[in-house]
Amino acid sequence: MMDSVEQLLGPAWPVVWTLAKIVAIVLPLVLSVAYLTLAERKVIGYMQVRIGPNRVGFRGLLQPFADVLKLLMKEVIVPSGANKFLFVLAPVMTIMPAMAAWAVVPFSPELVLANVDAGLLYILAITSMGVYGVIIAGWASNSKYAFLGSMRSAAQIVSYEIAMGFALVGVLMAAQSLNLVDIVNGQRGGGFWSWYWLPLFPLFLVYLISGVAETNRAPFDVAEGETEIVAGFHVEYSGIAFGVFFLAEYANMILISALCSIMFLGGWLPLVDTPLTFIPPIFWLLGKIAFVLFLFLWFRATFPRYRYDQIMRLGWKVFIPITLIWIVLIGALKLAGWWAW
């Protein structure tokens, strides 16, 4: 059947096929974002001995759709004195990198949209563009609170991106490749113990915590800081414009979790090699992503918000030195031939 469709479309076939693959990635992603919001409210609810949303649908399962419908119905208000073009562009600029980065994420050995050589670099470059949405939103809103939020966010994201980049340098040194498929294949061997979380444990922690900071999630959510600056950079946004910011935040969380699973937790590789191979690889990856996402929610329910100067200290004086030392250590081990992974 595939061949007949291919002949029917002729030269347009590659474009159509790629578009179909993109839809096959983005549609489940948006659905996961919807249910991640529900999961967050449920998980944090249970952690705080509440029930969480349980009115819409069976046990609240239709709650995300009710939320989306509400946001769609609401009016998008553009504040007076705001730069209208940039005001509308900002949410688009936040959602674009959160979606585009998925192009190189491998779901299983064969299941990847673009298996590019420099996948890791591509992801670093694309995700580094996400900060523009926040900065432009804060500036174009013509509001003091939004501006303060975007200033905080810009400083925070630029600081933590360095630590994050260095953590990834450690991964690429261990795997000797920038290709994400090769990085997962480099962790093959003795199951759980041969994944990179063990030899790169400090980098794993730095990456995870920097990921929380990069996505502006609690306890690093000073950019939103409800108790200090109302809602930070998106205080002036209403309706679906706000919804897009929301979507981008959760899509970024899923992306960071996916990258963390791929680079440190063995991607689609099974927990132990022999008895569990009947489970398809993609379910292993999805399970690991869900685990890291649960950590994100757990952090939010557990930790109080960091103060701004503490965030800066943690990023510059703790994380960057740790990653630098570990990179030198990996290099020395590799050179001496004592690298066991």
Partner 1 sequence: MSFQTFVFYALALILIYAALRVITARNPVHAALFLVLSFVAAAGIWLLLQAEFLAITLVLVYVGAVMVLFLFVVMMLDVNLARLREGFWDYLPLGGIVGALLVAEMIVVLGGDYFSVGEMPQPAGHAAGYSSIKELGRLLYTQYVYAFEIAAVILLVAIIAAIALTLRSRKNTLYQNPGEQVAVRREDRVRMVDMRSEKRAEERA
Q: By CB under 8 A, is residue 122 in contact with partner 1? A: yes
Q: 63 vs 210, which CB is nearer to partner 1?
A: 210
Quick one: which of 22, 25, 111, 155 contacts partner 1 (CB under 8 A)?
Answer: 155
Q: By CB under 8 A, is residue 135 in contact with partner 1? A: yes
CA 295 – CA 297 distance, rounded (Å): 5
> CB of residue 341 vs partner 1: minimum separation in angstroms?
21
Is-contact 120 180, C-beta < 8 A? yes
Q: 56 vs 96, which CB is nearer to partner 1?
A: 96
The end-to-end CA distance of the chain, in Å, is 45
Return the closest-CA partner of residue 259 out of 180, 174, 175, 172.
Answer: 180
Is-contact 72 239, C-beta < 8 A? yes
Q: By CB under 8 A, is residue 284 in contact with partner 1? A: no
Sign of the Cα pseudo-torsion (177, 179, 183, 185, in order): negative
Q: By CB under 8 A, is residue 171 in contact with partner 1? A: no
CA 15 – CA 192 distance, rounded (Å): 39
Within its chain, how far is the Cα of 116 from the centroid?
Answer: 20
Quick one: which of 56, 62, 68, 86 contacts partner 1 (CB under 8 A)?
Answer: 86
Residue 191 — φ and ψ, nearest 5°? Answer: 65, -135
CA 271 – CA 255 distance, rounded (Å): 21
Q: 168 vs 240, which CB is nearer to partner 1?
A: 168
Q: By CB under 8 A, is residue 116 in contact with partner 1? A: yes
Q: By CB under 8 A, is residue 198 in contact with partner 1? A: no
Q: 6 vs 117, which CB is nearer to partner 1?
A: 117
Quick one: which of 67, 161, 221, 224 contacts partner 1 (CB under 8 A)?
Answer: 161
Contacts of 146 (CB under 8 A, 6+ apart): 137, 138, 232, 233, 234, 235, 236
Q: By CB under 8 A, is residue 178 in contact with partner 1? A: yes
Q: By CB under 8 A, is residue 34 in contact with partner 1? A: no
Size, binding site for partner 1 by CB under 8 A: 26
Q: By CB under 8 A, is residue 72 in contact with partner 1? A: no
The residues that touch partner 1, with contacts defined as CB under 8 A, are: 86, 116-118, 121-122, 124-126, 128-129, 131-132, 135-136, 139, 147, 151, 154-155, 157-158, 161, 178, 310, 313
